[in-house]
């Protein structure tokens, strides 16, 4: 039986990965937009993003728009591959 990646398998992290995987390679999304899409609190989203960043699945880019700080998020190549592998494992587990 295929093993599911425990970093991705937590519901909140799976939702984050799925949302980021819909973006083109190299495309990012601003933190507030992702928070809105997932209806998560900033603290909860930040906590799960940290775990994904520690696993090198998500890239966090902090920048400024004028004087306002902006955080952009995207999947790394490793993260995109891990998500694809996770989905393949899930399909295998469910028998397609």
| Residue 86 within a domain | yes
Number of structural domains, the chain?
A: 1
Q: Is the model more confident about 94 or about 31?
A: 31
The answer to whether 57 and 19 are in contact (CB under 8 A) is no
Q: Taking Cα atoms as reference points, which of 35, 44, 40 lies closest to residue 71?
A: 35
Residue 94, pLDDT score:
86
pTM, to two decimals: 0.91
CATH number (domain holding residue 33): 1.10.10.10
Residue 50 sits in which domain range? 6-91
In the predicted model, what is the mean pLDDT of the chain?
A: 94
| Residue 72 within a domain | yes
| Residue 52 within a domain | yes
| Residue 23 within a domain | yes
């Amino acid at each position: 039986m295929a093993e599911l990646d425990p970093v991705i398998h937590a519901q909140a992290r799976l939702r984050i990965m799925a949302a980021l995987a819909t973006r083109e390679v190299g495309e990012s999304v601003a933190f507030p937009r992702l928070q809105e899409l997932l209806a998560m609190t900033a603290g909860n989203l930040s906590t799960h993003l940290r775990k994904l960043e520690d696993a090198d699945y998500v890239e966090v880019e902090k920048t400024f728009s004028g004087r306002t700080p902006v955080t952009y998020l995207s999947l790394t190549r490793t993260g995109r591959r891990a998500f694809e592998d996770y989905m393949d494992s899930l399909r295998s587990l469910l028998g397609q």
